[in-house]
Amino acid sequence: METLKLKVNEKKSAVDRLWKRKFLGYTVTMDKATRLRASQQSIKRFKDKLKDIFRSGRGCKVGRLIKEKLNPVVRGWKNHFRLNRVKWILEELDGWIRRRLRFILWCQMKRARTRAKRMMEHGLEEQRAWASAYNGRGPWWNSGASHMNEAYPAKYFRKLELVELQTGNF
């Protein structure tokens, strides 16, 4: 009998539970009714790629960043993982993307006076806008705060044609 001269990669080859292994970026849930979902490593790589895009987009308009840099990457990830059946992953990623965009908006409005004016332009009450503009907290905290969510809701980013992972728009 002849032996095959194959090199086996021990990191990739294993016998294990389905939900502990991944294949083409997917893994399987350990529920009774098994469902495909994106693996944690795939989600981490996707977030790392998006962080680079967000870092490079701090000096340009948010609408331009979304259309030129962000949408192609999100659209590609969405197409690859269209068989994903775990809804909360997509909801969480959509919320994280919007929060990163709010972070960029907060950083672009350098002065507190500008922040208050812009939030009032987007429908926030005057007193609340001034209080949140001068709250002294950092941009990441403010990007997740209710005043930024109210001034820049998901509807605002849909107008800028942001591709959402959990809906059918491409």
Contact call for residues 23 and 39 (beta carbons, < 8 A) = no
Dump pLDDT digits (tens) for 38-93: 888 999 999 999 999 999 877 889 999 999 999 999 999 999 888 888 888 899 99
Three-state SS at 30: coil
Q: What is the mean pLDDT of residues 6-30?
A: 75
HSE of 113, CA atoms in CB hemisphere, 13 A = 0
Q: Does residue 155 carry a pLDDT above 90?
A: yes
Q: Does residue 113 carry a pLDDT above 90?
A: yes
pTM equals 0.85
Spatial neighbors of 127 by CB under 8 A, at least 6 apart, are none
Q: Spell out the SS3 assignment of 100-158.
A: HHHHHHHHHCCCHHHHHHHHHHCCCCHHHHHHHHCCCCCHHHHHHCHHHHHHCCHHHHH
Q: Considering the chain, what percentage of its residues have pLDDT values greater than 90?
A: 62
